[in-house]
Chains A and B, each alone.
Chain A
Amino acid sequence: MFLDMNDRPCSRSLKAAISGAKRWLAALVLSLASLHAQAELMITISEGVESAIPVAVVPFKETGVMPEGERFSDIVRSDLTMSGEFSTLSPAKMLSLPSRGDDVYYRDWRLLGQRYLVIGEVTRVGDRLNTRFEVFDVASQERILGETAGAPVSSARSLAHYISDKVYEAITGVPGAFSTRLAYVTLQSDNGQPLYKLQVSDVDGKRARVRLESREPILSPAWSPDGRKLAYVSFETGKPVVYIHELASGQRTAIADFPGLNSAPAWSPDGRSLLLTLSKDGNAEIYKMDIASRSLTRLTTHWSIDTEGSWGADGRGVFFTSDRSGGPQIYYMEREGTEPRRITFGSRYNARPRPSDDGAYVYYVHQREGAFHIARTNLESGEETVLTRTLLDESPSVSPNGRMLIYATKQNGRSVLTVITSEGGSSYTLPASEGDVREPAWSPIVR
């Protein structure tokens, strides 16, 4: 079945997306309906979370000419909302708009049922924006954060996301992930021909930039731990080849171009090696490639299909998908060369494992009653939780702080990206303004 890769996959791929049994492979034989896609993703918040913490982000006092586009504090507000952990108060409902701690009347905010209050100001000095922001706990009437920061005017959005990160951390105690980025693949039809684009954007879908365009599929983007490189599979030469793409310079290197299948790249936590699925020895197996020397170590030896390797948090164990027990299931190899242990037992189909950075969970695609969901298993207790209610879910990717999860699903016949909290609370959808978007990958936090 993997030798299907030698065929041109685009034309026959739609069938694969429909058939459940072939779906696992459809991840390799990417199937996208031919529709127009534009660079920018639009956010639609579909559902709030009941346990969301009420936060008021007061419009920042602005001095000087602000860059065009959204207001500074609006970006912070929408960041906090999309995390799914906060419900934010509309400025129209605010009784006062303080920008300094002295002007805060706690009873106003208590009356409005707010738990936390974010205020601040932003001042333009030449080509720079300087900001001062504070967070207050309304109940205890205490200031829990006060900070100043600055950035060039051209990086206004980065500065706003930085504030969101700090506010998020002050309230939850966990670092925010709003300054991180998303990589994904869009497909549009260009004169009747499919056109694939590998894009990188902010987590809110803004500032998207096309990094690669191809008439042939692009698959499985994976971030290097330093956030500077992407590894992915591209069919541009007519067969799957794994490339490493340096984002700053645009320099690309074909790192795996063996006969047969080259797929599913995953970086080791130290960034020195890649896990790859190769069929050069006749059957799909997982290999580790040392990037500097390009030397390969074969990790799996089984006549069934082993693929989608992903390093565990400790950088030694490897999660992967194997059909050695009849259907795809997640296995974990604790050390190189040890006997893999099966992790998933909830149904006949569990694939594409993505362990969380803290090593507590593994997220994966889970089939139940004919539908595909994202589920996670607690690695200590073995308990499985189905997280999504949508029906054709694929490609889970966990945010680096472990609090959010992005995955691809179908909405009105189109592929969209959906972000939920890692507990399963529904949050927001990122459809391409036209066309399909799939294969999301959440970048690490880069300081």
Chain B
Amino acid sequence: MRKILMASVALSLCGSALAQSATPAYQDSRSQAQQNAGASQANAELFYMLEQLQREVRQLRGELEEQRNQLDRLSQQSRSRYIDLDQRILGLNEKISEPGPGEAAAAASDVDVPAASRPEPRDYRAPSAEEQQAYQQIQSLIREQKDYDAAIGKLYDFIGQYPEGDLTVNAYYWLGEVYLVKPQLEQAKQAFTIVASRFADHRKAPDAAYKLGITLDKMGDAEEARQQMDAVIRSYPESGAAELARKFLATE
């Protein structure tokens, strides 16, 4: 690097020397030599300054790149912390809202709410102990054993056996998730659509609506996926799902 610059400075010196030789003949050689010395002094100073500037620019660029990288990492970390926290709060909420086993099996009073643009919350039948246990088994099939085919079978059984309950909606949602992983996108789309439209007031509905968008996107239907994400943001503006949908649209 340095040598290249030296070379170019040397070249420009030659150039200026040539230019000098074109000066009038009456100028004596002594003053010309002085002038040359002056020019080379100035050039050396310029060269020194340039080198110093380059060094400094490099150093600044390095620092800038590293800080940008650090910032990216930090914001990514805080995002994943948020998601983690959100999931834990959701889990806690689920625990709180689920009454003790056997206590509330009779409390099921399905009020039929006409499908409106703004979903009215309704009470879902709380799960029995037995129902809860069956649900837990399916969860471990999915999360730990990752046996998706078995899980799909069990989910259908569960939905048939315990219709219209709180966990039934969860089961539909997980059916969608498992089909999405498989991936059997047409089935995933159906499952998510059921949750998002028939149970639009359920707490799983925002997530299902978002996942429906993801499924549509995976099916290659970018336009419909975008519309779905818009719908998530409009219907559930405060939810984590809306946040994810906004991100999806931003990266589109």
Could you tell me which A residues sit within 8 Å of B by CB distance?
1-4, 279, 282-283, 303-305, 323-327, 329, 342, 345, 382
Contact = CB atoms under 8 A, between A and B. Distances in A.
A304 B58 contact: yes
Interface residues of B, number: 16
Contacts of B62: 325-327, 329
Contacts of B69: 342, 345, 382
Interface in B36-80: 54, 58-59, 61-62, 65-66, 69, 72-73
A279 B7 CA distance: 13
B215 to A, nearest CB: 22
Contacts of A2: 1, 3-4
Q: Which of B4, B8, B61, B69 has the most CB of A within 10 A?
A: B4
A286 B62 CA distance: 21
B58 A3 contact: no
A342 B58 contact: no
Nearest to A345: B69
Contact of A282 (B8, B65, B66): B8
A382 B69 CA distance: 10
B61 A382 contact: no
B1 A305 contact: yes
A345 to B, nearest CB: 5
B2 interface: yes
A4 B3 CA distance: 9
Given A3-B4, A325-B61, A303 B54 contact: yes
A3 B61 CA distance: 25
A10 B59 CA distance: 33
B3 A1 contact: yes
A243 B3 CA distance: 27
Nearest to A305: B1
17 contacts: A1-B3, A2-B1, A3-B7, A4-B3, A282-B4, A282-B8, A283-B1, A303-B54, A324-B58, A324-B61, A325-B58, A325-B62, A326-B58, A326-B59, A329-B62, A342-B65, A382-B69
A382 B73 contact: yes
A3 B5 CA distance: 11
A359 B7 CA distance: 41
A345 B69 CA distance: 8
Contacts of B1: 1-2, 283, 304-305
Contact of B3 (A3, A327, A342): A3
Contacts of B66: 345
A15 to B, nearest CB: 17
A283 B4 contact: yes
Contacts of A4: 3
A3 B65 CA distance: 29
Q: Which of B59, B61, B65 has the most CB of A within 10 A?
A: B65
